[in-house]
Amino acid sequence: MANQLANETSPYLLQHKDNPVDWRPWNPEVLAEAERSNRPILVSVGYAACHWCHVMAHESFEDGETAALMNELFVCVKVDREERPDIDNWLQRIPVLMGQSGGWPLNVFLTPKGEPFWAGTYFPREAAFGRPSFKTVLHDISRRFQETPDMIAPNVRKIADSFEQAWYQNRSGSFDMYKLDRVAIAVAQGFDMFYGGMIGAPKFPNVPLIEALWRAYLRTGMQQYLTQVLCALDNMGRGGIFDQIGGGFSRYSVDEQWLVPHFEKMLYDNAQLIDIMTLVWQDGKQNVLKMRVEETIAWTLREMIVESAAFASSLDADSEGEEGKFYVWTDEEIDSLLAGTRVERFKQAYGITRDGNFPHEGKASGRNILHRVMNLSGWTEAEEPAFTRQRQILLAAREKRVRPGRDDKVLTDWNGLMIASLANAGAAFERSDWISTARRAFDFICTKLGEGDRLFHSYRAGQRQHQAFSDGYAFMARAALSLWEATGERAFLDRARAWTDLLDREFWDVIQGGYVFSRNDDVPDQSRLRTAFDTQTPSANAVMMGVHARLFYATLNQHHADRANNLIQAFAGDIGSNYLQMGTYLNNFEFCTSCLEVIICGPAADPRTRNLIKAVLGRSLPNRLLMTVPPGQDLPQGHPAYGKTMQDGKPTAYICGGMSCSPPVTDPAVVSQVLKLPENSPMAKSAGNA
């Protein structure tokens, strides 16, 4: 008999609708049933692409004996962490407070009043890996709750006190460019000089920190930063974390060399990686980065499109009940499929061996994760077309396999990240089709998940769910501004302002500053976090620093400058001990203080205007704000470029910083050169940073 998840739209919840566990979705009736029956609440949180969530489901939630125990002793609730990130953010803090690590699956026990008192992540069916069996945990928790409630009360108080202290904690402080440079050095010291990324394993891309190092290179010219950024992007692009056959990056690597991934592919990771690879390519024009951007976007458009417009959330790690089965190859398969081509050379290039490199239970399995071998002997650029054709043969063969599951719900926040990345990459690589794709997704969010200026969080099967969270508004406002820069269409600027105004009205903490994460009224106040820490996605508060700064420079509305400064000060006190979680804050702080405005006066359709824009986009300028001003329009009065127009009837560029602008420039080559000049040159000073 189906449980209460059968009518949900979340693919993750629907994966559990036929479990013998009497799962319920999160709703107010949960507390009422728990109090009526005097049973604690078990909240189990996961997501559709999570490998260990599947393992625990198969071992415990599909097991009749375990399910009977859960139903007898607890009111059982299933939560999709992607659909309800507010609940996940709240409950992820519980194992940390108990001295454990968080993650998924997450299993948290609450009193009938909804007070958390104990938590853990994966538990095996039978005791193993130094962990008790799940059935043992269930018995112990229930017995303590029923027989010795006094033993639970201290945990309830400790957790509640911790949340209250966190809410009232003064996170404010001051920050400046000198401190930014010091933090960049500290970040660099924690990076792996051999393989890139943070030292150790498992390894996550952590794009905001890579961007922080890239900005430090551009700011200081220190080659060490450049080396670290290129090392990270090169090794990720060569490793098994990148799908060498079909494109796209997996969530993380279990080893320090980026070789063996957990194979789930998340929309948000790929959006952020497209953005950083584009930004670095704009400086060095590395062909390999261009290829990785193209391949990742090609994967997105081939496998992640929903209703011909928006983007799905993720692809599963598993297929046919086995992690990575869709992606790995045996030596014999490669020989058979690539017969008649230079198969041995391909195997050398992509690390294919008879024993394989994807072990099973610690032993050789004969299965290979394709990765691009470093320093391939005798390699020349002329070999690449042959490798491309061979990968296409393998891709065609792989398409006949049983595919991993796809979580096809559309999330406003994650779509915002991908829309912005596609707009940025489309502008930089002169791919109007990518910009058009970003526009279609943007229109989908506005139409399907929008209601006036209000946004909803998720959409699937024709139904939208839950009010959007602060990061939904923040990421979509940033996406609107990216499309505004890419197209010059003011409607995108107006949309960003409207969403920002709603955030200010409904999410701003008037006491301490900053935006709370959630305003949903079906969760405890403990879930209303106020933080500038990045998680799997950038912090909404940190993103809004940059959004407000862009809106200020575009409109000269002082409110936006004040709000950006308030955000900087509200969370500056966290940087000293938490800078590794604050990459987005660091990057947007630099934008706020060092914005370089590039004003192009000219008709948008004029090829000469396009050539000036192309010259600007040919430079890696993370602090750039590009504004196209067609004839008949002007900038706000008081802007340093107010009243400036085309010179001699030609489209003209003005490069502004602070309250001064460069002389008018009509030659794209000169624009490019001005943007390349070192900061201590006279021209750069007149067009320099605020």
Q: How would residue 284 be classed by pLDDT, with cut points 50, 70 and 90?
A: very high
Per-residue pLDDT at 689 exceeds 60: no
The amino acid present at 391, given as its one-letter code, is R
Equal fold, 11-168 vs 177-319+407-593: no
Output the pLDDT for position 1: 58
* Tokens 């009065």 belong to residue: 637
140-166 pLDDT tens trace: 999 999 999 888 999 999 998 888 888
Q: For 623-647, what is the mean pLDDT?
A: 94
| Region label for 375, one of left (φ > 0), alpha (ψ between -120 and 50) or beta (otherwise) | left
Q: Residue 452 has which token pair?
A: 């006036």
The yes/no answer on whether domain 595-686 falls in CATH 3.40.50 is: no
In whole angstroms, what is the distance from residue 566 CA to residue 558 CA? 12
Q: How would residue 479 be classed by pLDDT, with cut points 50, 70 and 90?
A: very high
Q: For 191-195, what is the mean pLDDT?
A: 96
Q: What CATH architecture does domain 177-319+407-593 belong to?
A: Alpha/alpha barrel (1.50)
Per-residue pLDDT at 515 exceeds 50: yes
Output the pLDDT for position 432: 97
Per-residue pLDDT at 685 exceeds 70: no
Integer angstrom CA distances of residue 678 from 168, 586, 667: 44, 22, 19
In whole angstroms, what is the distance from residue 587 CA to residue 622 CA? 9
Q: Residue 223 has which token pair?
A: 């080659």
In whole angstroms, what is the distance from residue 184 CA to residue 199 CA? 16
Domain boundaries of the chain, sorted by first residue: 11-168, 177-319+407-593, 327-400, 595-686
Per-residue pLDDT at 202 exceeds 90: yes
Q: Residue 628 belongs to what H/E stretch?
A: strand 624-629
552-572 pLDDT tens trace: 999 999 999 999 999 999 999
Return the percentage of the chain with pLDDT > 90, whole number.
89
For the chain, the average pLDDT equals 94
Output the pLDDT for position 163: 84
Per-residue pLDDT at 598 exceeds 80: yes
Output the pLDDT for position 28: 87
Per-residue pLDDT at 133 exceeds 50: yes
The amino acid present at 553, given as its one-letter code, is Y
Q: Is 414 within 8 Å of 271 (Cβ atoms)?
A: yes
Q: Residue 251 has which token pair?
A: 């969530």
Q: What CATH architecture does domain 11-168 belong to?
A: 3-Layer(aba) Sandwich (3.40)
Q: Is 267 exposed, middle or buried (0-12, 13-18, 19+ CB in 10 A)?
A: buried
Q: How would residue 424 be classed by pLDDT, with cut points 50, 70 and 90?
A: very high
Per-residue pLDDT at 686 exceeds 70: no
In whole angstroms, what is the distance from residue 254 CA to residue 433 CA? 35
Q: How would residue 690 be classed by pLDDT, with cut points 50, 70 and 90?
A: very low
The amino acid present at 277, given as its one-letter code, is M
- Buried-exposed string 406-442: b where 16+ CB fall within 10 A, e elsewhere: bbbbbbbbbbbbbbbbbbbbbbbbebeebbebbbbbb
Per-residue pLDDT at 678 exceeds 70: no
Output the pLDDT for position 658: 83
Tell me the whole-structure pTM to 2 decimals: 0.95
Output the pLDDT for position 687: 35
Q: For 477-482, what is the mean pLDDT?
A: 98
Q: Is 586 within 8 Å of 212 (Cβ atoms)?
A: yes
Count of positions (residues) in the chain: 690
